[in-house]
Amino acid sequence: MVYANFGFNLRFNKVSFYGDLNYNNRDFSVNSYTQYYRPSYAQVQVNYNFTPDFYIALALQHFTGELRTKTVMDDGSYHSVTNTRHKECCLRPWILIRYTFRKNQKRKIKLEKVLNSYEKGISIEREK
Mean pLDDT of the chain: 84
- Residue ranges, the chain, pLDDT below 70: 103-128
Say if 61 falls within a structural domain: yes
Q: How many domains does the chain have?
A: 1
Say if 114 falls within a structural domain: no
12-42 pLDDT, tens per residue?
999 999 999 999 999 898 899 999 999 988 9
Burial of 49 (0-12, 13-18, 19+ CB in 10 A): middle
Say if 68 falls within a structural domain: yes
pTM across the whole model: 0.65
Domain that residue 35 falls in:
3-102
